[in-house]
Amino acid sequence: MAARSFVIVVDTTVWVDFLRGRGTRFDAHLAELIEAEAPIALTDIIYAEVLQGVRDDAVHRELRAVLRAHPILRPRGLGTFDDAVTLYRTARRRGLTIRRTVDCVIAATVLENGAELFHNDRDFETLARVSSLPIYRFI
């Protein structure tokens, strides 16, 4: 795997596949990124989404520590939410619907931090079609 100098924000969709051991190419690649100590990060929303799905208290504590070992990107202010609205409205003007507002906020946060997004969610592909949202691609 080639070395990269940017941050890869790993979306909830990939973390869930990984944590549940679903055997997808996404969870296998996340395992490779972790093993290679690649520069992966989360957003605050992704952090919350991943942790809220954990029922066992001990697993929750362990996973919380694992996730906090990575940078957690946060919206820089109200401007991030304005950017999220612009992303949504741009998609709508082109006849495309984004199903969840949080995806627009995640995308805006990724954009303002100059990161790439590693995901398994069609809404992010749509957002990338209507903006400069960088999508992390792997072979």
* Domain range annotation of the chain: 8-129
**pLDDT of residue 1 exceeding 90:** no
Position 51 scores a pLDDT of 97
Dihedral angle, C-alpha 69, 121, 78, 45, nearest 10 °: -40
Which pLDDT tens digit goes with each residue over 33-85? 999 999 999 999 999 999 998 999 999 999 999 999 999 999 999 999 999 99
Position 106 scores a pLDDT of 98
Position 38 scores a pLDDT of 95
Which pLDDT tens digit goes with each residue over 88-110? 999 999 999 999 999 999 999 99
How is domain 8-129 classified at the architecture level of CATH? 3-Layer(aba) Sandwich (3.40)
**pLDDT of residue 3 exceeding 60:** no
Task: Please measure the distance between the N-terminal and C-terminal CA atoms of the chain and give it in whole angstroms.
Answer: 10
